Amino acid sequence: MREKTISDSEFISLAGEVRDITTKSGTLLVINDRVHVAKEINADGVHLGQQDMSALEARDIIGGGKIIGVSTHSVTQARRAQKDGADYIAIGPIYHTRTKDYEPSIGIQIIREISETVNIPFIAIGAITLDNLDEVLKAGASRVAVCSAIIGSNDIYSSTKQFKEKLNGQQAYG
């Protein structure tokens, strides 16, 4: 759950409501950045950016048994996140993206490097579309985060279904 524009008290209230829904549906809830909120509402985990605390520090706050993910933009950051105890990393932006216009794209080659370097799951992120998904999968990714290609689609259901079908068929790339 990510919401950067509201106060902590508003976020805690909203996150508590979302926690109730995710508990009933058996869905994981991962809070972006706000480790203290994740602990307070007993979220399943937290996702941290490079400007946030380390995975090691977050683990001290939220305890064992919780998921910790870290956004990374280089092999060095990915190694550090793994060493600090991250359960997964996000790597990107692979391609130039409008959702994070301030970050330069890091290219497809980093997927190959990450898949050979870290032993924890990683998620490729950044302007991944149906048109470039095959390239991302062939480079070694098995998980992707997608925003604009689905939300900006004229047919969200169809786009989501196509992503799911391509991802479910990814064993052909391994």
Binding residues for Mg(2+): 33, 52
Side chain identity at 65, as an amino acid letter?
Answer: G
CA 74/CA 127 separation, integer angstroms = 17
Binding residues: 32-33, 52, 71, 97-100, 127
- Give the DSSP letter string of the chain: ----SS-HHHHHHHHHHHHHHHHHHT---EEES-HHHHHHTT-SEEEE-TTS--HHHHHHHH-TTSEEEEEESSHHHHHHHHHTT-SEEEE--SS--STTTTS----THHHHHHHHH-SS-EEEESS--TTTHHHHHHTT-S-EE-SHHHHTSS-HHHHHHHHHHHHHTGGGG-
